[in-house]
Homo-oligomer: A and B are copies of this chain.
Amino acid sequence: MIKNFSYTNYLTRNKNGVVTNYANRGMGLENDINLANEYYRIKDIAYIYKKPTPIKLVKVDYKIGKIKEAYFQTPSTTDYNGIYNGKYVDFEAKETNSKTSFSLSNIHEHQIKHLINVMNKGAISFIIVRFNKLGETYFLSTKMLEQFIKNNKRKSIPLSFFKTYGTIIKIKYNPRIDYIETINNIYFGGNNHDEKKK
């Protein structure tokens, strides 16, 4: 989520003078997933971590371990990976403010390629997309994502596609985003729209 810079507060004004806190952009879903991952670790359910954002170091004072100049880099893979129930899990999570579709420009092409590569090696590979203004969060398997890209010229996935081929992740008390429950339903015995338990 390199574009979100969710580490620190970052305030900016639009043309009408409205202050937007970019720290909250992305923070909602990212935070929910981080808390879910922590919950899974504490309960010994799954070990899934967010990868650090890659940084290009330019000036470093190694005596005091201080980085004086560095730049954000584009991640070569997805944000999250780990293990659940013996399976390698890999996914990207994104939010959109659109009410009707999710633009594929939100995910780098090499990230989609990565998701497909690991799927082909037997991973549980998917994206999580939250439609902020609808309050809906979807799980979409890479298989369905790949299908969409193959069969469509348009560069954004309509909400209806998520509704038909994805799975809504219900908001719970704890963890708020229980995406492992969704994985359980889809890959380990539940109902699903695409692939059954491998």
Contact = CB atoms under 8 A, between A and B. Distances in A.
A8 B85 contact: no
Nearest to A117: B47
Given A69-B67, A72-B67, A87-B88, A47 B8 contact: no
Interface string A132-145: 00000000000000
Contact of A83 (B47, B67, B75, B121): B121
A44 B114 CA distance: 11
Contacts of A60: 5, 7-8
A65 interface: yes
Contacts of A54: 52
Nearest to A63: B12
A53 B70 CA distance: 13
A41 B60 CA distance: 31
Kindly name the residue among A52, A71, A87, A89 whose own CB sees the greatest number of chain B CB atoms within 10 A. Answer: A52
A123 interface: yes
A47 B5 contact: no
| Cβ-closest 8 pairs across A and B | A86-B122, A88-B88, A52-B54, A67-B70, A83-B88, A52-B52, A83-B121, A7-B57
14 contacts: A8-B57, A41-B117, A51-B51, A52-B75, A55-B70, A66-B69, A67-B67, A81-B82, A83-B121, A83-B123, A85-B122, A86-B121, A87-B88, A88-B88
